[in-house]
């Protein structure tokens, strides 16, 4: 077959190559990827191996077809779909700022429709890079095979007009996408269950009236009050749950493990405030409200009444092998505002600091903003993404990962009692450790109150319960659970 360029043969080659790139190659790489993924779970390896099927296809195509001698008609049927994929991905990444939960990534299912099978896998697995890598690896592998096959058979292009701008455009788009990926990954954390520390517990271990393996703290003496009707509905922060659940078990009479459920919850600080304002609960045990929570109460014509019942420390946590044992308040602010990024700047090793935050509206984040950062703006929080059960991605603030260069924060009771971890250390602040004595006397810089909060006139039994928590017996229970009481315990 002659290799002399003819308009008619160019047209046929272009049509056949476009059909191959838009139908044949997508089917081939998806079939290969799905087959390989049965044996190998890592999709990056799967795509790399699948490309070994596409490359020889390009090599074979170069030997089989009557190739145009002009660069553009020879390679544009392959490079045009490649440029389309690169440009589309770069635009979506720019608009979404790399957030895979953005609706535009759902639109890519249609925009990259020849690769629908791997698109579906991408959404159900949560690995949306599959959307990008499958077509790009496919087209680059085929184009490489085509070029090498043509060279091996001595059928190089004699007219190279358009080669430099087309290849330059591909290169520029790849560099842009690489930078976008780097920017995304600097704020994204892959969570490892073995080193994750989050502010959650198994509430079942602290369920009132549960007869087996109950971790609640009993009263040391007979209860000075009991409540046998009109039981107050209470809710609160995770870390406060062992306190008020222990009180419910000791004081609420006429209830059992099942019937107590409507009267006690632990929906965590943000939801507890919402429930209180909505009138779904009578009393909550939480850290101070955020500005947004105060605003929500005001919008509903309510005023939050806060009564402190215990003292707590807001603590900074790090891996126990981290040589840094103390941070000043100023250093903490500089780290979380982005001014300090390396542990060496605060006396540690020459390694980047990974500063974890907590979700907006949580007790920990509200305290961090109000007590520590004050008027200093915080850097953007590290985030993590995970696949939802029926497809799609959710993104949230990343949980603390206890690596040697990590820094996080929580409340002392949670970090040292509820979720004790031998690989964790509580840092001193301004040279003062968060001990019970330093919390009691107020010398630890971030000693904070824990509050009982109401939004309406308390019922008689709600007031009775609140008064009991401030009594010597209530304060003794608080101390026995592991908090620092604010009043006398005897």
Rounded to whole angstroms, how far apart are CA atoms 452 and 376? 28
Beta carbons of 55 and 144 less than 8 angstroms apart: yes
Mutual angle of helices 25-37 and 116-125, in 10-degree steps: 40
Residue 102 pLDDT level (bands cut at 50, 70, 90): confident
Instruction: From 141, 144, 138, 11, select the one nearest 65 (Cα to Cα).
Output: 11
Domains contained in the chain, CATH given: 7-186 (no CATH), 192-490 (3.40.190.10)
Rounded to whole angstroms, how far apart are CA atoms 272 and 287? 11
DSSP H or E run through 46: helix 43-64
Beta carbons of 469 and 239 less than 8 angstroms apart: no
Rounded to whole angstroms, how far apart are CA atoms 71 and 303? 74
Beta carbons of 119 and 108 less than 8 angstroms apart: yes
Instruction: From 370, 396, 235, select the one nearest 291 (Cα to Cα).
Output: 370
Q: Which two tokens mark 64?
A: 């089989």
Pairing status of strand 234-236 against strand 283-286: parallel
pTM, entire model = 0.70
Q: Alpha helix locations (H) across 323-459? A: 329-337, 363-367, 412-413, 436-440
Q: Write down the pLDDT at residue 443.
A: 96
For 293-307, the pLDDT digits (tens) are 999 999 999 999 999
Radius of gyration, CA atoms only, the chain? 31
DSSP H or E run through 255: none
Picking from 146-155, 203-212, 236-245, 268-277, which range would have the lowest pLDDT averaged per residue? 203-212
Query: What is the DSSP code (8-state) at residue 113?
Result: G
For 35-80, the pLDDT digits (tens) are 999 999 888 899 999 999 999 999 999 999 989 989 999 999 999 9
Where are the strands (E) in 320-457, listed by range? Answer: 326-327, 354-355, 383-387, 393-397, 400-401, 406-411, 424-426, 428-429, 447-454
CA distances, 354 to each of 161, 186, 359, 403, 426 (Å)? 49, 10, 16, 9, 16
For 334-363, the pLDDT digits (tens) are 999 999 999 999 999 999 999 999 988 888
């Amino acid at each position: 077959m002659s290799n002399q360029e003819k308009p008619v043969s160019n047209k046929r080659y272009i049509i056949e190559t476009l059909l191959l790139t838009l139908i044949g190659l997508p089917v081939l790489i998806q079939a290969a990827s799905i087959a390989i993924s049965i044996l190998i779970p890592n999709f990056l390896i799967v795509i790399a191996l699948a490309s070994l099927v596409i490359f020889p296809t390009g090599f074979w195509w170069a030997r089989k077809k009557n190739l145009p001698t002009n660069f553009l008609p020879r390679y544009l049927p392959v490079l045009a779909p490649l440029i389309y994929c690169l440009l589309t991905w770069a635009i979506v990444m720019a608009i979404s700022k790399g957030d895979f939960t953005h609706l535009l990534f759902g639109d890519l299912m249609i925009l990259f429709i020849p690769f629908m099978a791997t698109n579906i896998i991408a959404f159900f697995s949560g690995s949306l890079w599959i959307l990008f890598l499958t077509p790009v690896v496919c087209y680059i592998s085929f184009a490489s095979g085509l070029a090498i096959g043509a060279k091996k058979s001595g059928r190089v292009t004699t007219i190279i007009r358009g080669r430099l701008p087309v290849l330059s455009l591909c290169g520029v788009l790849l560099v842009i996408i690489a930078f976008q990926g780097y920017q995304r990954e600097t704020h994204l954390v892959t969570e490892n269950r073995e080193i994750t520390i989050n502010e959650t517990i198994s509430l079942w271990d602290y369920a009132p009236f549960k007869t087996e393996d109950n971790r609640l703290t009993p009263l040391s003496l007979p209860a000075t009050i009991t409540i046998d009707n009109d039981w107050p509905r209470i809710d609160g922060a995770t870390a406060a749950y062992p306190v008020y659940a222990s009180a419910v078990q000791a004081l609420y009479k006429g209830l059992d493990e099942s019937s107590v459920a409507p009267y006690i919850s632990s929906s965590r600080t943000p939801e507890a405030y919402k429930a209180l304002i909505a009138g779904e609960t009578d009393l909550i045990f939480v850290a101070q409200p955020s500005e947004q929570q105060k605003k929500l109460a005001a919008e509903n014509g309510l005023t939050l009444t806060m009564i402190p019942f215990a003292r707590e420390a807001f603590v900074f946590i790090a891996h126990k092998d981290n040589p840094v044992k103390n941070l000043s308040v100023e250093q903490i602010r500089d780290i979380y505002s982005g001014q300090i990024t390396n542990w060496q700047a605060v006396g540690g090793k020459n390694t980047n600091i990974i500063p974890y935050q907590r979700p907006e509206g949580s007790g920990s984040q509200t305290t961090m903003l109000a007590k520590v950062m004050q008027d200093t703006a915080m850097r953007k929080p590290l985030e993590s993404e995970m696949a939802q059960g029926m497809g799609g991605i959710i993104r949230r603030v990343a949980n603390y990962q206890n690596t040697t260069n990590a820094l996080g924060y929580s409340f002392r009771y949670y970090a040292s009692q509820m979720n004790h971890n031998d690989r964790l250390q509580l840092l001193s602040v301004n040279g003062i450790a968060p001990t019970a004595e330093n919390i009691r006397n107020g010398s630890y810089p971030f000693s904070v109150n824990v509050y009982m909060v109401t939004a309406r006139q308390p019922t008689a039994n709600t007031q009775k319960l609140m008064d009991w928590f401030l009594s010597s017996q209530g304060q003794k229970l608080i101390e026995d659970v592991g908090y620092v009481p604010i009043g006398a315990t005897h």
